[in-house]
């Protein structure tokens, strides 16, 4: 029983940060129809920036709580600026071309960011563990957990709810949904689609790098971080259905549980398990679990 | 395709290149081998790209070919290069036969959208779009498998990195650089990449991907149909790709 609970809790902790990453990916795809290969790089960028913020705060002998806040704020500011500038400065030039072209552009961005992080932060592992002790240790049904890990779960849930609420219950959200459903019609109704694009992309980057920041105290930052994360988040959005918030949540939970289960039962099959779930879902629902079938365009 | 070199001229060039290899220093030879082997995979990606799909998964077949050859060759003591290449191609092709039909169903999800050909329209013509994608996929897998055998011969070892998606990304890069119109362009592009890589390793080891990324953006921006378009003229009149591409223009009237 305890063993089962361990897997579920570990899975949910994994799912929490994966969900935040996948949410950004699915949002960018929904609005801009871009499958963003560089999404993992933004996660890595967030993690690295967070590390710098945390170590700077620690160097000034300030408490870890200040470091925690500092890393979130600095990542939020830098990431949304990077996202906005990238969309306005680069992606915009390729609108109207094949979706495959945009995919390749994001691949180029991935390559560039990979080396930019190396140039700024070097190739050796970086740690930012100070905030990890912030919430102490928690005993939960006989199991000991790091409080920080458990806190991630409500944070992810809150972010998910905020996005869902923002999309479905606010005017801005309705406008974004309108652009997702039919861009042409939105333009003719007076929606400034360009602005929605820029905001959505910046927001997607923000989510990826926030997830990076939140996981930064748990992991070591080193090259290769981004290419692993993008695989996981692709799997999640494919399972859940590209462009769907609920799908990202269910996909993240499935992938998180699969990872946790295979780590405890069969470590060498970790990635294979995820692909197995993905293949199983796609066998029966090629569009993913939560995406509505769309009419094929002639 | 239509206005490529005469086959005899191509064979002549090939023979000339092989003879030329005798007088060059050995490092260029190993570089050219790696380039040719990469070009083979990129050629598969180009074939696939003609159906509107870009695959970041060719590394799988590349690795399958390589591992297949490595295991079978060491088990049965096969050292003949031609047989090894055939084994690699068969291994890649078999896996392609298993995965291809599955992937073809979801090509929209796996590769980005199917836009180069409008698959609904293709089906109205009585041809199965899935079958075309599958056949092209298997061809690409065979190429990748054979290339795995070549790479194994050139590098004398194989590791799981062969199958990682960033490895496949480099093949996609070669395909984009080459464009979809010329087979020779794929080999030129691959050779260019290997040359740049060798010199980058010497002079800028940590900015190699940066160079690659910027270069890729440059190609997409200024040479959207690849270096092949420098010598193979498209039948369509040269104009801006946004106007030229009938599918993109069509999106405006869809639904």
- By the CB < 8 Å criterion, does B77 face chain A? no
- CA dist A221 and A215 (Å) reads 10
For residues A104-131, one letter each, b for 16 or more C-beta atoms within 10 angstroms of the residue's C-beta and e for the rest, the string is bbbbbbbbbbbbbbbeebeeeebebbbb
Q: What is the pLDDT of residue B250?
A: 38
Mean per-residue pLDDT, B61-67: 88
- CA dist B215 and B53 (Å) reads 22
Q: How many CB pairs under 8 A join A and B?
A: 107
Q: What is the pLDDT of residue A257?
A: 93
Would you place residue B127 in the very low, low, confident or very high pLDDT band (cuts 50, 70, 90)?
A: low
The tens digit of pLDDT for each residue in A93-147 reads: 888 887 778 888 999 999 999 999 999 998 899 888 888 888 888 887 777 888 8
Residues of chain A neighbouring B216 (CB-CB closer than 8 A): 104, 107-108, 111
Q: What is the pLDDT of residue A76?
A: 95
Query: With an 8 Å Cβ cutoff, are A184 and B209 in contact?
Result: no
The tens digit of pLDDT for each residue in B1-26 reads: 445 567 777 778 777 777 776 677 77
Residues of chain B neighbouring A296 (CB-CB closer than 8 A): 120
- CA dist B102 and B109 (Å) reads 12
Q: What is the pLDDT of residue A298?
A: 41
Angle at A223 between CA A25 and CA A77, to 5 degrees: 50
Highest-scoring range by mean pLDDT, A7-21, A270-284, B155-169, B235-249: A7-21
For residues B233 and A162, the model is more confident at A162
Q: What is the pLDDT of residue B110?
A: 42
For residues B127 and B163, the model is more confident at B163
Which DSSP letter does residue A137 get? E
Q: What is the pLDDT of residue B128?
A: 65
Q: Match 């560039």 to its residue by tokens.
A: A112
Query: With an 8 Å Cβ cutoff, are A297 and B214 in contact?
Result: no
Q: Which chain B residue is nearest to residue A297, measuring alpha carbons?
A: B254
Q: What is the pLDDT of residue B179?
A: 83
The tens digit of pLDDT for each residue in A224-250 reads: 888 889 989 988 988 888 878 888 999
- Residue whose C-alpha is closest to residue A56's, from A5, A110, A126, A114: A126
- By the CB < 8 Å criterion, does B218 face chain A? no
Question: Which of helix, strand or coil describes residue B204?
Answer: coil
Bridge partners of A137? A146
Q: What is the pLDDT of residue B113?
A: 39
Q: What is the pLDDT of residue A11?
A: 93
Q: Which chain B residue is nearest to residue A295, measuring alpha carbons?
A: B255
Residues of chain A neighbouring B53 (CB-CB closer than 8 A): 100
Reply yes or no on whether the pLDDT at A21 is more than 90: yes
Q: What is the pLDDT of residue B225?
A: 79
Distance from CA of A145 to the nearest CA of B (A): 33
Q: Which of residues 147-166 of B touch A (CB under 8 A)?
A: 164-166
Would you place residue B249 in the very low, low, confident or very high pLDDT band (cuts 50, 70, 90)?
A: very low
Q: What is the pLDDT of residue A210?
A: 95
Q: Are A170 and A162 in contact (CB under 8 A)?
A: no
Q: How far apart are the first and last CA of chain B?
A: 35
Q: What is the pLDDT of residue A198?
A: 93
Would you place residue A296 in the very low, low, confident or very high pLDDT band (cuts 50, 70, 90)?
A: very low
Q: What is the pLDDT of residue B222?
A: 87
- CA dist B91 and B68 (Å) reads 6
Mean per-residue pLDDT, B217-222: 88
Distance from CA of A141 to the nearest CA of B (A): 40
- CA dist B146 and B14 (Å) reads 19
Angle at B65 between CA B61 and CA B69, to 5 degrees: 165
Query: With an 8 Å Cβ cutoff, are B206 and A298 in contact?
Result: no
Mean per-residue pLDDT, B157-173: 81
Reply yes or no on whether the pLDDT at B156 is more than 90: no
Contacts of A113 (CB under 8 A, 6+ apart): A38, A41, A42, A44, A45, A226
Token pair recorded at residue A1: 């029983």
Q: Which chain B residue is nearest to residue A38, measuring alpha carbons?
A: B213
Bridge partners of A144? A139
Q: What is the pLDDT of residue A244?
A: 83
Q: What is the pLDDT of residue A209?
A: 95
The tens digit of pLDDT for each residue in A32-72 reads: 888 899 999 999 999 999 999 999 998 998 888 898 999 99
Q: What is the pLDDT of residue A283?
A: 77
Q: What is the pLDDT of residue A245?
A: 86
Mean per-residue pLDDT, B84-90: 88
Residue A136, phi-psi category: left (phi > 0), alpha (psi -120 to 50), beta (remainder): left
The tens digit of pLDDT for each residue in A189-220 reads: 999 999 999 999 999 999 999 999 999 999 88
Give the helix/strand (H/E) hosting A71. Answer: helix A64-89
Residues of chain B neighbouring A298 (CB-CB closer than 8 A): 118, 120-121, 254
Q: What is the pLDDT of residue B105?
A: 67
Q: How many helices (H) and strands (E) does chain B have?
A: 13, 0
Alpha helices in B125-238 (DSSP H): 129-155, 165-178, 183-203, 208-222, 228-231
Reply yes or no on whether the pLDDT at B252 is more than 50: no
Q: What is the pLDDT of residue B112?
A: 37
For residues B130 and B122, the model is more confident at B130
Torsion of CA B221, B227, B232, B234, to 10 degrees: -20
């Amino acid at each position: 029983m305890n063993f089962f609970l361990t897997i579920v809790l570990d899975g949910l902790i994994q799912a929490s940060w994966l969900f935040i990453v996948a949410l950004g990916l699915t949002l960018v795809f929904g609005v801009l129809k871009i499958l963003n290969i560089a999404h993992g790089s933004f996660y890595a960028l967030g993690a690295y920036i967070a590390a710098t913020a945390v170590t700077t705060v620690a160097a000034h002998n300030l408490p870890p709580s200040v470091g925690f806040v500092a890393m979130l704020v600095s990542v939020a500011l830098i990431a949304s600026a990077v996202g906005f500038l990238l969309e306005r400065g680069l992606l915009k030039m390729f609108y109207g071309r094949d979706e495959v072209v945009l995919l390749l552009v994001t691949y180029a961005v991935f390559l560039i960011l990979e080396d930019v992080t190396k140039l700024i932060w070097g190739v050796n592992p970086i740690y930012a563990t100070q905030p990890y002790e912030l919430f102490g240790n928690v005993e939960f049904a006989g199991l000991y957990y790091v409080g920080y890990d458990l806190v991630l779960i409500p944070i992810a849930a809150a972010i998910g709810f905020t996005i869902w609420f923002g999309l479905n219950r606010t005017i801005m959200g309705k406008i974004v949904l309108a652009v997702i459903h039919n861009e042409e019609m939105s333009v003719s109704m007076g929606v400034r689609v360009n602005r929605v694009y820029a905001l959505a992309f910046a927001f997607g980057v923000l989510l990826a790098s926030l997830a990076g920041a939140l996981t930064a105290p748990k992991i070591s930052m080193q090259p290769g971080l981004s290419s692993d994360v993008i695989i996981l988040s692709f799997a999640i959005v494919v399972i859940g259905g590209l462009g769907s918030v609920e799908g990202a949540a269910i996909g993240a939970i499935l992938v998180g549980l699969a990872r946790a289960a295979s780590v405890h039962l069969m470590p060498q099959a970790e990635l294979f398990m995820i692909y197995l779930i993905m293949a199983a879902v796609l066998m029966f629902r090629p569009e993913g679990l939560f995406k509505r079938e769309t009419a094929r365009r002639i | 395709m239509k206005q490529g070199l005469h086959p005899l001229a191509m064979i002549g060039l090939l023979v000339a290149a092989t003879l030329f290899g005798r007088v060059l220093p050995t490092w260029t030879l190993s570089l050219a081998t790696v380039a040719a082997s990469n070009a083979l995979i990129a050629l598969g990606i180009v074939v696939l790209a003609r159906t509107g799909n870009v695959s970041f998964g060719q590394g799988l077949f590349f690795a399958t070919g390589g591992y297949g050859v490595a295991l079978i060759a060491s088990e049965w003591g096969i050292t003949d290069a031609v047989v090894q290449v055939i084994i690699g191609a068969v291994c890649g092709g078999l896996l392609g036969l298993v995965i291809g039909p599955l992937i073809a169903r979801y090509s929209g999800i796996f590769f980005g959208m199917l836009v180069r050909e409008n698959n609904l329209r293709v089906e109205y013509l009585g041809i199965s779009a899935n079958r075309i994608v599958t056949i092209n996929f298997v061809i690409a897998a065979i190429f990748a498998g054979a290339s795995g055998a070549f790479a194994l011969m050139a590098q004398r070892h194989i590791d799981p990195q062969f199958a990682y998606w960033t490895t496949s990304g480099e093949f996609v890069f070669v395909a984009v650089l080459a464009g979809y119109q010329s087979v020779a362009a794929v080999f030129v592009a691959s050779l260019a990449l290997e040359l740049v890589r060798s010199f980058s390793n010497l002079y800028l080891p940590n900015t190699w991907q940066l160079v690659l990324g910027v270069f890729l953006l440059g190609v997409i921006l200024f040479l959207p149909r690849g270096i092949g378009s420098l010598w193979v003229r498209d039948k369509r009149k040269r104009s801006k790709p946004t106007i030229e591409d009938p599918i993109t223009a069509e999106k405006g009237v869809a639904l």
